[in-house]
Structure 1
Amino acid sequence: MAFSPGEVGAYRIVSAAAVLLPLSLPRIAKLNRKQIGNLAVVGLVGSFLPAFLFAKAQTQLSSSITGVLNALTPLFVVVIGALFFKAKITVRNGLGLLIAFIGVIILISVKEGSSSITSLSSINAYALLVILATICYGINLNIIKHWFNALKPVEITAISLLLALPVALGYLLLQTDFTHKLIHEDGALMAAGYLTILGVLGTAVSLILFNGLVKIASPVFASSVTYLIPIVAIGWGVWDGEVLLPGHFMGMIAVITGVWIGNRKKKKQVIAAPSSSA
C-alpha cells in the first residue's frame, strides 16, 4: 500500500474540499460566526473523523464486515436524536438496538482461524473504529437536520469540507511524508489518482446528494441507505476472495435484522368510513 491510513483519510478530505472551493469560498463570507462554528463541527465530525476511522479499520477488517457495521448508522441517528435532540425511542427502536448490539458483539468476537466466538478480551478493536464512525454519522445527521434549515445541501457540504481542509492539509503536510511518497515511490501517483476519484465522487458529490436527502426527509430515513452498503460490501468481499466465518454471517444477520426492526415504522391502520344508507 502506497499510503498510510492517515494519509488516505486526509487526502480524501483535501481532494473533496479542493474540488468544491469554487462553491465554498463565495458562500462562506455570507455566514455568521455561529453558522461557521456549526459547519466546522459538521466537517470534522461528519467527514474528517470518519475518513480516518474507516481508513484505519480497513487495514484489519474485511470490507464485508465493515459494510455491515456501517449499517448501524440509522440506529445511532435514533439514539443521538433521543439524547440531544428530544426525539423519542420506541419499544421497536429498543428491540432493534438490542438485536443489532448482539450482532456487533458476535462480529467483533469472531477470530480468524476459529469457527467459534472468542472471549471479549480478544475482540477486534478495529471494528470499534467503524462503530465510532457510525456514531459520528449519527451526530452529524441530527445536526444537519436541526441546525441548518436555512442552508442548502451544497452550502452545507462545500463549506463544512472547506473548514475541515486546514486540519486535513496540515496533517498531510506536517505529520506525514505524503509528498515524498508521491514523488519517489512507484505507484504513488496512480494511488493518489484513485484517492482523488474517491474524494470527489465518494465524498464531495455523495455528500451533496446525501445532505439533500437529509434536508427533505428525516435523518433516520436518509441514513437508511446504509441498508444497501452491506449487500454491496459483501458482494465485493466475496468477489475479492475475502474469508468469512460462520460467526461472521451470524453477526451480519443479527445486525441487519436489528437495524431493520429498529427503523421499521408501524403500519397505520386505515379505518373505512361507514357507508350511508339510502
Structure 2
Amino acid sequence: MQNNDYLKWVYLLVLSLIWGTSFILIKKALIGLNAYQLGALRTIITGIFLFIVGYNKLKFIKKEDWKWIALSGFLGSFFPAFFFAIAETEIDSAVASILNSLVPLNTVLLGAAVFKIATNTRQVIGIIIGFVGTSILILEGADLNPNQNYWYAGFVIASTIMYAINVNVIKTYLQHVKPLSIAAGNYVIIFIPALLVLILTDFFNVENLDQSEFVSSIGFVVVLSFFGTALAKVLFNKLVQMSTPVFASSVTYIMPIVALIWGLLDNETFSWTQGLGSLIILFGVFLANRKQKKIRSN
C-alpha cells in the first residue's frame, strides 16, 4: 500500500508534465489548422494509437459497461478536444491551463452531490486553497493580457465540468475495467463522429499540402495525440483507479505551472504574482491529499 502511495505521486507528476505541455502544442498546431480540424485530427490519431495497442483489450468490456464507456468518451475526450482548441484561438495557452484547474473543485462538488463519493474537510480546504491560487493566476493573466476575449474561457470551464463528470464515472462505474480497455473503448465510440467532423472541415483538400504551416501543424497534433492524449489517457485512468477522483483531478493544479513555463519560453508574459499563485496551488494539492496521521496506542 505504501508503494502505491508513492506510485500515484509519480503518475501525478508525469501527467502534469505531459498535459502541461499539451497547451503549447495546441497553440502551435492552431497556426496551420482551425480549431475543428485540430480537435477532430487529435481524436482520430489518438484513436489509431489506442486501437493498435488496445484492440485486444476491448473484449474485457462487458455489455453493460459500454454506456459508461460512451459517456466517458464524449465527456472526457471528444468535446474537450474541440473546446480547448476553440478557446485557444482567443486566450493564451497558459491561461487555458490555469482555467482547467477548476476540475478538482467541480470533481468534489459533483462527486458529493451526484455520485455520493465521500470527501473530508481537509480535501475541501485544500481544493479551496488551490482555487484561490488559480484565481490569482487568472486575475493576473487578465491584467497582463487585457485584449484577450475571456468569453472564450467558457469553453474551458465547460470542459472542466465534463472532466469532473468523467472522473467520477470512471471511479463509480468503471473501477473494474482495465485503464487501457477504457481508453480504447472511448475511442471506438468517438472515432467515427470525429472523422465526420474532419471531412466537413475541408481538411482533405490537396492544396493544403502546399502550405508548410499546415504540414508542421499536423506534426504538432501527432505529438499531442500520442503523448498528450493516448498515453496520458491510460495513465490517468490508472491514477483514478489507484487513488481517488479528487487526487487524480489534482493534476490540473500542477499543469498550469508547466504551461506557464512553456508560455514564458514562447514569449508569453509571466509575473511574480503568477509565481505566488503557483506556490499556493501546490500547497492546496499537498493539503488536499495529505493523509491523517494515525495516533498509536500504547
Normalised-by-shorter TM-score class: 0.7 to 0.9
Decide which moves more: 228-237 or 37-46.
228-237
Matching of residues 117-266 of structure 1 within 5 Å: 124-174=150-200, 176-180=201-205, 182-244=208-270, 261=287, 263-265=288-290
Q: Is the 8 A contact 2:107 2:168 kept in 1?
A: yes
1:81 aligns with 2:107: no
Tell me, in whole angstroms, the C-alpha distance in 1 between the residues paired with 2:268 and 2:90: 12
Higher mean C-alpha deviation, range 138-147 or range 241-250: 241-250
Q: Does 1:17 align with 2:67?
A: no
Larger Rg: 1
- In the alignment, the residues of structure 2 paired with residue 270 and residue 31 of structure 1 have an alpha-carbon distance, to the nearest angstrom, of 42
User: What is the SS of the residue equivalent to 1:242?
Assistant: coil
Contact 2:103 2:252 in 1 (8 A): yes
* Partner residue in 2 for 1:38: 68
- Is the 1:109–1:123 contact (alpha carbons within 8 Å) kept by the matching residues of 2? no
Contact kept, 8 Å, 1:72 with 1:100, in 2: the verdict is: no
Higher helix share: 2
- Structure 2 residue aligned with 1:61: 91
1:135 corresponds to which letter in structure 2?
Answer: I
- Offset, 1:69: 2.4
Give per-residue Cα distances to partners, 1:182-204, cap 9 Å, x unaligned: 43433312221221121122111
Residue correspondences, number:
266
**CA RMSD after TM alignment:** 3.0
Tell me which moved more, 18-27 or 208-217. 18-27
Q: Do the aligned partners of 1:7 and 1:172 also contact (CA within 8 Å) in 2?
A: yes
- Taking only the aligned residue pairs, the percentage that are identical comes to 34
| Closer/same/farther in 2, CA of residues 248 and 221 from structure 1, 3 Å limit | closer
Greater shift, 206-215 or 216-225, is seen at: 216-225
What is the match of residue 271 of structure 1?
296
Q: 2:159 & 2:166 partners in 1: Cα distance?
A: 10
Query: Quick one: distance in 2 between partners of 1:150 and 1:182?
Result: 45
- TM-score, normalised to structure 2's length? 0.76
Distance 2:91 2:274 in 1: 12
Mean Cα deviation higher: 133-142 or 264-273? 264-273
Segments of structure 2 that go 5 or more residues without pairing to the other structure are 1-30
The letter of the residue matching 1:61 is I
Separation (CA, whole Å) in 2 of partners of 1:53 and 1:132: 8
1:253 deviates by 6.1
Check the 8 A contact 2:43/2:78 in 1, yes or no.
yes
Give, in whole Å, the separation in 2 of the partners of 1:244 and 1:62: 12
**Greater Cα shift, 230-239 or 243-252:** 243-252
Residues 1:40 and 1:24: Cα distance change in structure 2 (over 3 Å): farther
